[in-house]
């Protein structure tokens, strides 16, 4: 090979070598064996025509010898460009210049702001034993605080006590923020006594998924690789809840780097059945909320990380529209798919929390400035409610138990006077676009892969982040862009389908609905709709138009008010 066509890779390790080829969109089918061995035999060489011929296979291409001759020098120059970029240390918080926008042309949204209207609360009285309110929704806890029947300090101490008592069973806590919590609770009591009541979240203890930065406390991201990490700031969501007067009592678990329920300290458990995990990745928020260890929690979803643990633990979760809640100060996994949302014991709790955290902050440039006008008393019979006909019919035989609960959910909606409209999702290869998440996650944690620190993560198996981060480097940039072009088509088709639909109901895990919504950015409210023979909950999902959380929550609230699944409590051991 001509010297002008080579650069030395003598000092490049195997993992860097693999990354060079993947970044160029080249095949690494033979790199682990033949090609890498050839590089070791001739360390002065870089890309050869033979390597390129093998690499073409993964891209589904075949070039001529003349075409390969033309490419070699350019590929070597690419390698140097990649190397130059890698020498710049990029933080997880630094987002790409390309911003995802779920809005397609000709879509318009309500811009008029109106006061939210919540259900009228019945008079509440504090029980003789304070722990009896541990499972109360925020709407009722707030009345105890507002009427000064219970102090925030007492409520906070009760929840801290339960966190300490039951965490040994559930493994849902990374860090107790006890000192901060008692300080915030004391301040809340002083303000309320002085007549300065901030609203329904004032004095209410809550828990944060430990991917949200909190000043003076560790933010571990659930991973051994980051378990000593301290980020000297409060995430926007943390700041906004503090402004609402809420009391942070704990940093709650997440599966390592937001996958599953296994973190560096163990496996977070489902309070309904401690023999199984709580699912993830918002494992701790779901478990702690279901077990009555916090008033509410904040979770996050990229692809099912609110819906799945909310289902497993029987809580109500809201995954907002992409671009509704600032992710400033939250761990980035996928810049075009990450979303933050509340995990609560009722739909109206979710509305209260969402109202406190949504809207622009000047940091997360994906967040739009549109109103949230919740009205619990809206006439849901006048909303256009669809249902995924095929999905309800296609519950597999092994999910017959779920199918019964899902069909009963449709009956409940009809009993409310709602006319359900048959609908289907776009007929496109949705699952084929899943590697968009892999590519972005691989970039977000590229440093772990290159420095071999991915070996620190607890789960080392095919279906876990270390393996995904590694093979993400093999995704050609062209294919990532092509997948996002298909994503645009799906968004356009969804806009057409949703033009005549306000909200639709869907089985939570049948078909492509969950991935599709996370790719298109649509909001979802998930809530319990039954219990399996094992005692674990099942769920139903309500999906709304972009930025239509108010209508989605209203329909979900109407359903929940006609059922009592959310009022059931797990039996925790002593």
What pLDDT band is residue 396 in, cutting at 50, 70 and 90? Answer: low
pLDDT at 76: 87
**Dist CA 169 CA 380 (whole Å):** 41
Q: Is the peptide bond before 281 cis (omega within 30 degrees of 0)?
A: yes
Regarding whether 199 and 54 lie in a shared domain, the answer is no
Q: Is the pLDDT of residue 39 over 50?
A: no
Name which of 287, 283, 292, 261 is nearest 273 in CA terms.
Answer: 287
Regarding whether 139 and 80 lie in a shared domain, the answer is no
482-503: pLDDT as tens digits:
999 999 999 999 999 999 999 9
Give the residue-averaged pLDDT of 244-260.
Answer: 98
Regarding whether 151 and 63 lie in a shared domain, the answer is no
**How does strand 420-423 pair with strand 273-277?**
unpaired
pLDDT at 397: 54
Regarding whether 153 and 68 lie in a shared domain, the answer is no
Regarding whether 179 and 82 lie in a shared domain, the answer is no
What pLDDT band is residue 474 in, cutting at 50, 70 and 90? Answer: confident
What pLDDT band is residue 47 in, cutting at 50, 70 and 90? Answer: confident
* Three-state DSSP class for residue 289: helix
Overall size of the chain counted in residues: 574
**Dist CA 286 CA 298 (whole Å):** 9
Kindly report which listed range (81-90, 199-208, 220-229, 239-248) carries the lowest average pLDDT score.
81-90
**How does strand 296-301 pair with strand 339-344?**
antiparallel
Among residues 32, 59, 86, the one where a domain terminates is 86
Q: Is the pLDDT of residue 451 over 60?
A: yes
Residue 340 lies in a domain: yes
Name which of 282, 272, 269, 245 is nearest 141 in CA terms.
Answer: 245
Among residues 86, 107, 139, the one where a domain terminates is 86
Residue 467 lies in a domain: no
pTM of the model: 0.90
Give the CATH number for residue 512. Answer: 3.90.1300.10
Q: How many domains does the chain fold into?
A: 2
Chain centre to alpha carbon of residue 124: 34
Average pLDDT, the chain: 92
Q: What is the number of alpha carbons within 13 Å of residue 515 lying toward its C-beta?
A: 15
pLDDT-above-70 percentage for the chain: 91
Residue 314 lies in a domain: yes
Kindly report which listed range (25-29, 31-35, 122-126, 297-301) carries the lowest average pLDDT score.
31-35
Residue 39 lies in a domain: yes
pLDDT at 11: 42
Regarding whether 215 and 144 lie in a shared domain, the answer is yes
Q: Which domain holds residue 374?
A: 130-428+480-567
Q: Is the pLDDT of residue 10 over 50?
A: no
Q: Is the pLDDT of residue 519 over 50?
A: yes
What pLDDT band is residue 26 in, cutting at 50, 70 and 90? Answer: very low
Residue 218 lies in a domain: yes
Residue 419 lies in a domain: yes
pLDDT at 365: 97
427-445: pLDDT as tens digits:
999 999 999 999 999 999 9
Residue 561 lies in a domain: yes
pLDDT at 54: 86
pLDDT at 45: 43
Element housing 468 (H / E): helix 465-472
pLDDT at 398: 54
Q: Is the pLDDT of residue 274 over 90?
A: yes
Buried b vs exposed e over 291-323: b needs ≥16 C-beta within 10 Å?
A: bbbbbbbbbbbbbbbbbbbbbbbbbbbbbbbbb
214: tokens are 């909190």
pLDDT-above-90 percentage for the chain: 82
Regarding whether 57 and 138 lie in a shared domain, the answer is no
Regarding whether 66 and 181 lie in a shared domain, the answer is no
Regarding whether 528 and 423 lie in a shared domain, the answer is yes
Among residues 54, 86, 118, the one where a domain terminates is 86
pLDDT at 460: 93
**Dist CA 441 CA 337 (whole Å):** 10
Q: Which residues are catalytic?
A: 209, 281, 305
Regarding whether 495 and 421 lie in a shared domain, the answer is yes
Regarding whether 506 and 357 lie in a shared domain, the answer is yes
Task: Name which residue leads in pLDDT, 489 or 84.
Answer: 489
Residue 324 lies in a domain: yes
Give the residue-averaged pLDDT of 399-415.
Answer: 94
539-560: pLDDT as tens digits:
999 999 999 999 999 999 999 9
Kindly report which listed range (48-62, 229-243, 499-513) carries the lowest average pLDDT score.
48-62
Regarding whether 563 and 503 lie in a shared domain, the answer is yes
């Amino acid at each position: 090979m001509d010297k002008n066509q080579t650069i030395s890779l003598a000092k490049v390790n195997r993992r860097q070598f693999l990354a060079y080829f993947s970044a160029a969109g080249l095949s690494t089918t033979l790199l682990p064996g033949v090609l890498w061995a050839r590089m070791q035999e001739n360390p002065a060489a870089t890309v050869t025509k033979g390597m390129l011929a093998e690499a073409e296979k993964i891209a589904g291409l075949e070039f001529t010898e003349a075409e390969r001759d033309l490419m070699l020098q350019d590929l070597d120059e690419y390698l140097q460009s990649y190397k130059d970029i890698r020498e710049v240390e990029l933080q997880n918080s630094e987002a790409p210049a390309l911003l995802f926008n779920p809005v397609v042309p000709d879509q318009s949204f309500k811009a008029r702001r109106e006061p939210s209207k919540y259900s009228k609360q019945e008079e509440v009285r504090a029980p003789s034993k304070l722990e009896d309110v541990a499972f109360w929704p925020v709407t009722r806890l707030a009345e105890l605080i507002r009427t000064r029947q219970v102090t925030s300090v007492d409520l906070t101490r009760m929840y801290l006590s339960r966190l300490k008592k039951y965490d040994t069973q559930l493994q849902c806590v990374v860090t107790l923020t006890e000192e901060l919590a008692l300080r915030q609770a004391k301040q809340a009591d002083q303000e309320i006594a002085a007549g300065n009541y901030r609203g329904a979240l004032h004095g209410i203890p809550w828990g944060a998924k430990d991917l949200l930065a909190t000043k003076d406390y560790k933010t571990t991201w659930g991973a051994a690789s980051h378990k000593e990490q301290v980020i000297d700031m409060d995430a926007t969501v943390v700041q906004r809840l503090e402004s609402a007067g809420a009391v942070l009592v704990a940093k709650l678990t997440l599966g390592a780097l937001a996958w599953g329920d296994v973190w560096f300290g163990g496996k977070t458990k489902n309070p309904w059945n401690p023999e199984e995990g709580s699912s993830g990745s918002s494992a701790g928020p779901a478990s702690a909320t279901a077990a009555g260890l916090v008033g509410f929690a904040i979770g996050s979803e990229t692809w099912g990380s609110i819906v799945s643990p909310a289902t497993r633990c029987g809580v109500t979760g809201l995954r907002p529209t992409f671009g509704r809640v600032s992710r400033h100060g939250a761990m980035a996994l996928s810049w075009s798919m990450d979303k933050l949302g509340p995990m609560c014991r009722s739909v109206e709790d979710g509305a209260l929390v969402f109202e406190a955290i949504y809207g622009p902050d000047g940091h997360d440039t994906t967040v739009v400035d549109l109103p949230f006008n919740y009205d619990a008393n809206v006439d849901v019979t006048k909303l256009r409610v669809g249902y995924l006909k095929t999905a309800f019919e296609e519950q597999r035989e092994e999910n017959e138990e779920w199918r019964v609960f899902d069909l009963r959910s449709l009956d409940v909606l009809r009993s409310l006077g709602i006319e359900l409209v048959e609908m289907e999702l776009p007929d496109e290869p949705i699952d084929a676009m899943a590697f968009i998440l892999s590519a972005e996650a691989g970039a977000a944690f590229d440093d772990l892969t290159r420095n071999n620190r991915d070996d620190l993560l607890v789960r080392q198996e095919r279906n876990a982040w270390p393996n995904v981060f590694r093979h993400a480097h093999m995704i050609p940039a062209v294919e990532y862009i092509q997948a996002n072009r298909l994503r645009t088509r799906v968004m356009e088709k969804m806009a057409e389908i949703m033009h005549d639909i306000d909200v639709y109901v869907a089985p939570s895990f049948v078909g492509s609905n969950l991935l599709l919504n996370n790719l298109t950015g649509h909001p979802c409210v998930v809530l319990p709709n039954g219990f399996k023979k094992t005692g674990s909950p099942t769920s139903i999902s309500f999906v709304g138009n972009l930025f239509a959380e108010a209508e989605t929550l209203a329909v979900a609230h109407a359903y929940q008010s006609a059922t009592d699944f959310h009022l059931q409590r797990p039996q925790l051991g002593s």
